[in-house]
Structures are given as C-alpha cells and as structure tokens.
Structure 1
C-alpha cells in the first residue's frame, strides 16, 4: 500500500513502514526496502513532488523478486496517474 501527500520540496521523498508483525525476518524486511529503494531511485525523476510512505502488508515476504518488481512498478504508475489527474483538477 502506498500513501502519498504533496510536498513543496521540488522532489519526491520515500519512507517505509514494514512491521515485524507483517514481515517476520529482518533480512527479508531489509531485502524489501532495498528493492523498493532501487526502484524509487530509477523512477524518482518521473514521480511527482510527493512524500511517499510504503506500508508493507502481510504476504509481501512470500513474493519473489519478479512479482515484487511488478507490484512496485504498478504502484508507481498508479501514483503518477493519480498525481496527474489531481493536477488537472486544480
């Protein structure tokens, strides 16, 4: 799940909430963060100026790398679409 709020900084920022309750192993939590951070690094110039919070849900640790990358890419695309629609409305 992704939460986003407009910021005035001129660039997007990223934060994580990955609880031990949802992803038990610290190694897996770190792995998830690394994958998302790398995806963010590659896409940050295309993303709107927002503060982004990634909330990890149960079952995220059961996805393989390919599924996780696909999920993240869909999330970034959805965020870009919603931000562009919000700008059109203003």
Structure 2
C-alpha cells in the first residue's frame, strides 16, 4: 500500500495514502506509533477521531483503501487537529474527482 498509493496527501501531523480498489466498501488503516503519542488513552482517542471522519465521508469514499499515518506530534489542544484531518479527507475527495 505504501509504495502503490494512487494519492498521497500530507499535512503537518498526518499523511493520508489512498488507492483505488475493486471492492465496493472503503477500508481504513491506521498507523499511530507509540513514539508519536505515548499514552494509550491518547492514541485511542486519535484513532476514534480518525474513524469518525472516515465514517462521515464513507459514502463518498467507495472503492478506496485508505491508510492514515501519524507524521508528527499533535498541536497543543485537543480540538486543533480535527479540522486538519477533515481537510485531508476533503483534499482526497477533490483529487479523486479531478482524476
């Protein structure tokens, strides 16, 4: 998946990789390293928010395999990065429409 991604969209904290598939349902993979977020509770919270953004756009993401990688530390404050993640998914949808 990492070498064969059709689209790579990155920002400060996250890298989103996506690839077209023949399957009708979209699939999501998460890579949240312990060295990026030390506490398991916080890693779980990040994963929940990513899954929620995926769930909200699931009907538009049909036929895609998506992997979200944690690139760097999250900005201070719990709500600061959620809009960043939403923009990543929006950029993916825009790029997909272009191609």
TM range (shorter): 0.7 to 0.9
- State the TM-score, normalized to the length of structure 2: 0.77
Cα distance in 2 for partners of 1:27, 1:18 equals 12
Alignment of 1:50-65 (within 5 A): 50-60=64-74, 62-65=76-79
In structure 2, stretches of 5+ residues that fail to align are 1-14
Deviation per CA, 1:10-36, whole angstroms, max 9, x where unpaired? 121101000111111111110000011
Q: Which runs of 4+ in 1 moved over 3 A?
A: none
Number of aligned residue pairs: 85
**Structure 2 Cα separation of the partners of residues 60 and 48 of structure 1:** 28
Matched residues in 2 for 1:15 and 1:74: separation?
Answer: 18
**TM-score, normalization by structure 1:** 0.84
Please identify which structure carries the higher strand content.
2
- 3-state secondary structure, aligned to 1:10: coil
Kindly indicate whether the alpha-carbon contact (under 8 Å) linking 1:11 and 1:48 is maintained by their aligned counterparts in 2.
Answer: yes
